[in-house]
């Protein structure tokens, strides 16, 4: 018996279980993709079909051209908002994390402990006051409302601080002897050594924001600023009753950009998610 | 004095010059400048907002009415007597329990299977994590149709097992399990990755020793893997509880809280109070109550997780 057979034999339960799990993950997507190519009549039929008898592109065409649906705009908005938010988090949190990790100043520990405590406060408490602030600032329905309110990301500061602390301080001391300022030590020594942590945080923050629904839902109300998840709720409430395949095609189309990113950066994403997830421990 | 001057002086003077009081002050000033952007945003959008929420919860603050009378703890008394709040809280708790248990079992089994010395480890990891990347909108729209009572694929698959069509999202007793199933599908990938990391952290020599002692796979799992995985298990379950307690998108998209109020959740109810009834003061009271509940849960989390394990 060759090695391959024996490995398959010995680990048969693992293979079988993973195969079932893969089916569990893929089947809903397959059905949704397949039904995106069906007509209304074909979808509303029992028993349901897995393969369309006469595949049609009508649903995809309609969902992309309907006046009140702008998947292209929503995707653009999502990308602008999530990118803006990610940049804001990195710009705001990394210097703060550096100060906590490396600089001595009165109140360092007390301030950090205070931030630790605030992590226990769920973000929903801030929803109503921040919504009213957005209204008063005339920021409702602007990208500012999507980017800035969550930018002081305490978790980001924790993650980066933990990482910065591990960087040997000899490197910075050498830079000091070369005349580096605090900014120079941060910018030229610590940040270049932290690309892994910064990328991991960026991925985590970007994906979280890209998929967020509640906040974008309450602060946006025009095609110009609505994000993709908000758009999908409109697609659902306006068309799900009559045009199911079209709604499914919209849902499927909405996943394509993120799947492309995932296919390209799968290793980095998996590693980044694990790293940030474990840092929370 | 610039930092550059430091290297021109003799080595005996250097220590003195590097740590004069003025440099200490410089360091503190630099630190505050580094912190300033974060602290400004934090003060405005977190500290101010939390204080404002607590304050608002003592007022009858309705967005459409200019008068905002102080009402003391009336909002909290109303909340205590609000049947819908208790329904929403009960729904949220049962949804959370089902989802966390289901997610943990699926994620841990997946992690155990994926960490066997098998082919395609990377492939399965990437594939099983994939649904987590989708927005709740896409997940909701896909699953609401799968679970459809008349034409849904879930009922079709079950029909082969002789199960008669089930009205998943229309039956008050089944709607939360159905939303929970959707959520497990969507979210088990993340805890799976955490479990994989946890499993890889268990020293190999413990397994070898157990095998030499003649332990079988089942014994190894219960006596070695599970006890050593306890910190990871607690992390996954307690962060899961906190995450799923905030459930909102699934009922919002898939059931609108229905049938009746069978899938109202706390955040869903908060949305209704503040953004359809425009009762900001009462909404703030709901948010504060939620915060207290979740703070207690997080404190329990800290208590458990701070207990470390020794190999």
pLDDT(B16) > 70: no
Domain co-membership, B182 together with B282: yes
C-alpha to C-alpha distance for B31 and B35, rounded to whole angstroms: 6
Selecting from A17, A50, A124 the residue whose C-beta is nearest the C-beta of B246 gives: A124
ipTM for the predicted complex: 0.88
Mind listing the pLDDT tens digit for each residue in A83-117?
999 999 999 999 999 999 999 999 899 999 999 88
- Give which of A108, A274, A199 is closest to B114, Cα–Cα: A274
Domain co-membership, A180 together with A99: yes
Helix, strand or coil, per DSSP, at residue B36: helix
Residues 223-262 of A with CB under 8 A from B: 228-233, 235-236, 240, 244, 247-248, 250-252, 254-255, 258-259, 262
Domain co-membership, A192 together with A222: yes
Domain co-membership, A192 together with A243: yes
Q: Residue B131 half-sphere exposure, CB side, CA atoms within 13 Å?
A: 29
The string of DSSP codes covering B200-256 is HTS-HHHHHHHHHTT--HHHHIIIIIHHHTHHHHHHHHHHHHHHHHT--HHHHHHTT
Selecting from A13, A18, A177 the residue whose C-beta is nearest the C-beta of B7 gives: A177
Whether chain B has a CB inside 8 Å of the CB on A46: the answer is yes
Name the region of A135 (left: φ>0; alpha: ψ -120 to 50; beta: rest). Answer: alpha
Q: Is the pTM of this model over 0.80?
A: yes
A–B: how many Cβ contacts below 8 A? 290
Radius of gyration of chain A (CA): 24
Cα nearest neighbour of B3 on chain A: A179
The string of DSSP codes covering A19-44 is HHHHHHHHHHHHHHHHHTTS-HHHHS
Is the Cβ–Cβ distance between B159 and B77 less than 8 Å?
no
C-alpha to C-alpha distance for A233 and A229, rounded to whole angstroms: 7
Domain co-membership, B41 together with B189: no
Q: Residue B129 half-sphere exposure, CB side, CA atoms within 13 Å?
A: 28
Question: Where residue B127 sits, what CATH number does that domain have?
Answer: 1.10.3720.10
B34 vs A93: CB contact, 8 Å cut-off?
no
Domain co-membership, B156 together with B25: no
Q: Enumerate the residues of chain A whose CB falls inside 8 A of the CB of residue B120.
A: 18
Mind listing the pLDDT tens digit for each residue in A183-202?
988 998 899 999 988 988 99
What is the structure's pLDDT at B3?
45
Asked whether residue B131 is domain-assigned, the answer is: yes
Q: Averaged over B136-164, what is the pLDDT? A: 90
User: Best mutation site among B43, B44, B102, B142 for testing chain A: the one with the most A CBs within 10 Å?
Assistant: B142
Cα nearest neighbour of A236 on chain B: B141
Q: Enumerate the residues of chain B whose CB falls inside 8 A of the CB of residue A131.
A: 274
Name the region of A117 (left: φ>0; alpha: ψ -120 to 50; beta: rest). Answer: alpha
pLDDT(B13) > 60: no
Name the pLDDT band for B23 (thresholds 50, 70, 90). Answer: confident
Radius of gyration of chain B (CA): 27
Selecting from A182, A232, A274 the residue whose C-beta is nearest the C-beta of B30 gives: A182
Whether chain B has a CB inside 8 Å of the CB on A169: the answer is no
Return the sign of the alpha-carbon dihedral for residues B48, B50, B54, B57. Answer: positive
Whether chain A has a CB inside 8 Å of the CB on B25: the answer is no
Domain co-membership, B33 together with B165: no
Name the β-bridge partners of B59: B70
- Give which of A280, A171, A154, A147 is closest to B35, Cα–Cα: A154
Question: Where residue A243 sits, what CATH number does that domain have?
Answer: 1.10.3720.10
First to last CA, chain B: 52
C-alpha to C-alpha distance for A257 and A276, rounded to whole angstroms: 23
Residue B104 tokens read as 């943990």
What is the structure's pLDDT at B7?
45
Is the Cβ–Cβ distance between B168 and B174 less than 8 Å?
yes
Residues 172-191 of B with CB under 8 A from A: 185, 190
B28 vs A103: CB contact, 8 Å cut-off?
yes
Q: B60 CB contacts (<8 Å, ≥6 apart)?
A: B68, B69, B71, B74, B75, B281, B282
Mind listing the pLDDT tens digit for each residue in A212-263?
899 999 999 888 889 999 999 988 888 877 788 888 888 999 899 889 989 9
Asked whether residue B196 is domain-assigned, the answer is: yes
Selecting from B41, B118, B145 the residue whose C-beta is nearest the C-beta of A244 gives: B145
What is the structure's pLDDT at B307?
60
The string of DSSP codes covering A111-145 is HHHHHHHHTTS-THHHHHHHHHHHHHTT-TTSHHH
Name the β-bridge partners of B62: B279
- Give which of A268, A264, A267 is closest to A197, Cα–Cα: A268
The parent domain of residue B237 ranges over: 75-305
Q: What percent of chain A has pLDDT over 70?
A: 96
| Of A40, A56, A72, the domain-final residue | A56
Whether chain A has a CB inside 8 Å of the CB on B109: the answer is yes
Domain co-membership, A51 together with A122: no
Cis ω before A47 (30° cut-off from 0): yes
Number of domain units in chain A: 2
A228 vs B50: CB contact, 8 Å cut-off?
no
pLDDT(B4) > 50: no
Is the Cβ–Cβ distance between A127 and A214 less than 8 Å?
yes
In this structure, how many other beta carbons lie within 10 angstroms of the beta carbon of residue B237? 17
Q: Averaged over A128-141, what is the pLDDT? A: 93
Selecting from A48, A126, A252 the residue whose C-beta is nearest the C-beta of B156 gives: A48
Domain co-membership, A51 together with A69: no
- Give which of B240, B272, B244, B276 is closest to B258, Cα–Cα: B272
Q: What percent of chain B has pLDDT over 70?
A: 90
Number of domain units in chain B: 2
Residue A257 tokens read as 């950009």
pLDDT(A174) > 90: no
C-alpha to C-alpha distance for A273 and A252, rounded to whole angstroms: 24
């Amino acid at each position: 018996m060759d090695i391959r057979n024996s490995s398959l034999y010995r680990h048969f339960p693992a293979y079988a279980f993973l195969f079932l799990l893969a089916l569990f993950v893929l089947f809903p997507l397959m059905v949704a993709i397949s039904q995106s190519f069906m007509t209304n009549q074909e979808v509303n039929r029992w028993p349901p079909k897995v393969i369309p008898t006469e595949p049609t592109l009508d649903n995809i065409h309609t969902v992309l051209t309907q006046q009140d649906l702008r998947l292209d705009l929503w995707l653009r908005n999502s990308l602008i908002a999530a990118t803006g938010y990610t940049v804001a988090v990195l710009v705001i949190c990394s210097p703060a994390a550096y100060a906590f990790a490396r600089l001595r100043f009165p109140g360092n520990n007390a301030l950090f402990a205070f931030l630790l405590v605030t992590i226990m406060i769920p973000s929903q408490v801030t929803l109503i006051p921040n919504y009213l602030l957005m209204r008063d600032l005339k920021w409702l329905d602007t990208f500012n409302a999507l980017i800035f309110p969550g930018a002081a990301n305490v978790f980001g500061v924790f993650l980066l601080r933990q990482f910065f602390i591990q960087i040997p301080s000899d490197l910075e001391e050498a830079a000091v002897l070369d005349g580096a300022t605090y900014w120079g030590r941060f910018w030229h020594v610590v940040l270049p050594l932290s690309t892994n942590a910064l990328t991991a945080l960026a991925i985590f923050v970007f994906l979280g924001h890209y998929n967020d629904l509640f906040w974008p839902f309450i602060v946006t109300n025009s095609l110009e600023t609505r994000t993709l998840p908000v758009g999908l709720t409109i697609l659902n409430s306006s068309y799900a009753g009559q045009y199911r395949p079209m709604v499914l095609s919209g849902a499927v189309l909405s996943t394509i950009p993120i799947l492309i990113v995932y296919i390209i950066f799968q290793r980095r994403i998996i590693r980044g998610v694990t790293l940030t997830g474990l840092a929370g421990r | 004095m610039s930092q550059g001057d430091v290297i021109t002086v003799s080595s005996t003077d250097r220590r003195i010059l590097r740590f004069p009081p003025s440099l200490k002050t410089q360091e503190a000033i630099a630190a505050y400048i580094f912190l300033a952007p974060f602290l400004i945003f934090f003060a405005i959008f977190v500290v101010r907002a939390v204080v404002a929420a607590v304050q608002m919860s003592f007022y009858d603050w309705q967005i459409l009415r200019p008068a905002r009378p102080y009402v003391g703890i009336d909002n909290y008394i109303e909340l205590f007597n609000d049947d819908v709040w208790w329904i929403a809280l009960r729904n949220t708790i049962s949804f959370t329990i089902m989802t966390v248990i289901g997610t943990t079992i699926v994620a841990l089994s997946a992690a155990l299977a994926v960490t066997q010395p098998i082919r395609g480890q990377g492939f399965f990891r990437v594939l099983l994590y994939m649904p987590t990347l989708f927005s709740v909108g896409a997940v909701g729209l896909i699953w609401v149709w799968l679970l459809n009572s008349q034409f849904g694929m879930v009922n079709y698959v079950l029909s082969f097992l002789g199960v008669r069509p089930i009205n998943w999202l229309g039956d008050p007793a089944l709607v939360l399990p159905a939303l929970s199933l959707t959520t497990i599908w969507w979210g088990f990938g993340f805890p799976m990755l955490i479990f994989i990391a946890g499993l890889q952290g268990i020293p190999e020599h413990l397994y070898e020793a157990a095998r030499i002692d003649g332990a079988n796979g089942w014994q190894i799992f219960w006596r070695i893997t599970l006890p050593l995985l306890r910190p990871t298990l607690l992390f996954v379950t307690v962060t899961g509880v906190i995450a799923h307690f905030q459930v909102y998108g699934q009922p919002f998209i898939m059931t609108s809280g229905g049938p009746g109020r069978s899938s109202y959740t706390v955040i869903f109810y908060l949305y209704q109070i503040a953004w359809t009834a425009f009762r900001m003061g009462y909404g703030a009271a709901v948010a504060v109550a939620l915060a207290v509940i979740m703070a207690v849960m997080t404190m329990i989390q800290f208590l458990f997780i701070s207990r470390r394990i020794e190999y």
